[in-house]
């Protein structure tokens, strides 16, 4: 957001130095928000399993605040010859994941949705405990649903969460909150035993994702890199605004198109898997 306003100071009635200081302050905070760790891999039935743990070091859900935000794992596996064997969570120059194409379809973004029983599960990425395809991405986010449990990006239409696998802080206990609490966990993450076990479990505030991929006769050693990435405004939230004719909204959409919210790295880990 700061990068967008830096190109148009009049939009927010602020000075360039204020924008720069604000962006720097926000970047400093992200340095201590979370960690990512590649655990001991294992090979079984011709598949390499790479466990990756993400841990929240803040005192709130991560990502927190406005539901346009998202956090995800970018994992790459490269063999000894430099050939890419597997990659999940990579983005293009505009900060778009491959799955964003499906999530920004017209029926996903429509403000007014038909009353029928249309399926909206293709409008967001479900929570994953195991990832076996580059098309699957471990995305931590809140996805709002209206009274008929249809995906919505309009705050006034929101009635529940279709998905909320934002990583809870250490100390989170579902039993204290109650099963119907809006501050709970929604979607597949609610049934994932590795997703932030209730406190006082020592793994409270963390999530474990397992990546499984065939490696065959790939040249060893294999280099694995895992990065935890963050984006303040995912494409669906901005593109949904395209229906509006309000000049303030169209100006924001234009600014977004010129300077898409950058992808920030929160944490990184690397590991070399021997022969």
133 in any annotated domain: yes
22 in any annotated domain: no
pLDDT at position 212 is 97
Q: What's the total number of domains in the chain?
A: 1
pLDDT at position 6 is 54
**Containing H/E element for 174?**
helix 174-177
What is the rounded distance in angstroms from the CA atom of residue 55 to the CA atom of residue 68? 21
10 in any annotated domain: no
272 in any annotated domain: no
pLDDT at position 22 is 54
Low-confidence ranges of the chain (pLDDT < 70): 1-31, 115-117, 178-180
Measured at the CA of 167, the angle between CA 163 and CA 168, to 5 degrees, comes to 110
pTM of the model: 0.90
Phi, psi of 188, deg, nearest 5 = -65, -25
**CA-closest candidate to residue 70, choices 268, 272, 270, 261:** 261
pLDDT at position 1 is 55
15 in any annotated domain: no
Write the DSSP string, 70-132: EEEEEEEEE-TTS-EEEEES-B-TTS-BTTHHHHTSHHHH-SS--SS----GGGSPPP-SEE-
| 103-137 pLDDT per residue, tens | 999 999 998 887 665 789 999 999 999 999 999 99
55 in any annotated domain: yes
Q: Domain range for residue 234?
A: 32-112+119-267
pLDDT at position 260 is 83
3-class DSSP assignment, residue 190: helix
pLDDT at position 219 is 79
Which residues touch 115 (CB under 8 Å, ≥6 apart)? Answer: 148
pLDDT at position 32 is 80
């Amino acid at each position: 957001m700061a990068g967008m306003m830096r190109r148009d100071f009049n939009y927010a009635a602020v000075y360039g130095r204020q924008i720069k200081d604000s962006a720097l302050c926000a970047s400093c905070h992200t340095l201590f928000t979370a960690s990512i760790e590649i655990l001991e891999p294992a090979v079984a039935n011709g598949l390499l399993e790479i466990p990756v743990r993400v841990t929240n070091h803040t005192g709130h859900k991560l990502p927190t605040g406005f539901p346009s935000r998202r956090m995800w794992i970018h994992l790459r596996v490269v063999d000894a010859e430099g050939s890419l064997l597997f990659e999940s969570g990579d983005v293009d120059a505009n900060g778009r994941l491959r799955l964003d194409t499906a999530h920004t379809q017209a029926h996903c973004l429509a403000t007014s949705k038909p009353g029928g029983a249309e399926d909206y599960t293709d409008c967001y990425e479900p929570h994953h405990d195991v990832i076996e395809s580059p098309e699957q991405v471990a995305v931590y986010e809140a996805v709002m649903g209206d009274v008929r449990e249809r995906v919505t990006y309009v705050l006034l239409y929101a009635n529940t969460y279709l998905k909320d696998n934002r990583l809870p802080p250490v100390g989170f206990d579902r039993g204290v909150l109650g099963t119907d609490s809006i501050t709970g966990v929604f979607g597949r993450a609610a049934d994932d035993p590795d997703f932030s076990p209730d406190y006082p479990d020592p793994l409270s505030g963390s999530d474990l994702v397992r990546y499984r991929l065939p490696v065959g006769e790939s040249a060893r050693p294999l280099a694995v890199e895992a990065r935890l990435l963050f984006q303040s405004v995912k494409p669906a939230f901005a593109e949904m605004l395209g229906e509006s004719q309000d000049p303030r909204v169209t100006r924001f959409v234009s600014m977004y198109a010129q300077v898409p919210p950058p992808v920030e790295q929160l944490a990184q880990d690397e590991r070399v898997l021997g022969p």
